[in-house]
Amino acid sequence: MVSFIEFADKLSAWFGKAFGWLIILMTFGMSYEVFVRYVLNSPTPWALDVSFIMYGTLFMMGGAYTLSRGGHVRGDFLYRLWKPRTQAMVDFTLYILFFFPGIIALVLSGWKYSSRSWGYAEVSVNSPAGIPIYQFKSVMVAAGLLLFIQGIAQIFRCILCMREGYWRTAEEDVLEAADLLLKQHAEGKV
């Protein structure tokens, strides 16, 4: 179980970080659009669609990474008061009853939606540029599969927590700037 958790966490982290670079592309794309629109008075017909596609892809492909790091929104006004074993039992039940049926529905309906879009080479109707969007529709399936794999790892985390009484968390891979500065200050490097 532990090796699968580590595999899923690394897979989710790789995809989350790889697609995180879309932020840079979005920034350059939108900066270019602002420049040509307001300085050159020559707006592009594709900028809005491309920004939607990149943001949607980033959002979808980062979901499994966020799940592995416990970053999704949780209404935890009661949850945080429970013992880890109780939390694990509740999480386990919710994953089985709600998470997996939802993810399976996302993959199956996304597959149908995506294959139909690929079948007629769908383009965006929001701009005159006719940006192809059928590739983007495949992101739903890929994101669903990544979430499914990470969900299995989360189930394994729940089982281990019910047995051991503590949560196994994902490896720390990102530090907040303030935490990094405090750590450097404590070590006398600043």
Tokens in use for 75?
């209404």
What region, left, alpha or beta, does residue 130 occupy, with left being phi > 0 and alpha being psi -120 to 50 degrees?
Answer: left
The pTM of this model reads: 0.84
Work out the pLDDT band at 171, boundaries 50, 70, 90: confident
Per-residue confidence band for 174, with pLDDT thresholds at 50, 70 and 90: low
Longest CA pairwise span in the chain (Å): 64
Residues in the chain: 190
pLDDT at 118: 93
pLDDT band with cut points at 50, 70 and 90 for residue 138: very high
Amino acid letter, 82: W
Distance between CA 29 and CA 32 in Å, rounded? 5
Question: Quick one: pLDDT band at residue 175, thresholds 50, 70, 90?
Answer: low
Axis-axis angle for helices 47-61, 2-20 (nearest 10): 160
| Low-confidence winner among 22-31, 98-107, 171-180 (lowest mean pLDDT) | 171-180
Distance separating alpha carbons of residues 145 and 92, to the nearest angstrom: 19
pLDDT higher than 80, residue 75: no
At 74, the amino acid letter reads R
Q: CB-based contacts of 46: which residues, under 8 Å, 6+ apart?
A: 127, 129, 131
pLDDT above 90 for 124: no
Q: Give the pLDDT of residue 105.
A: 96
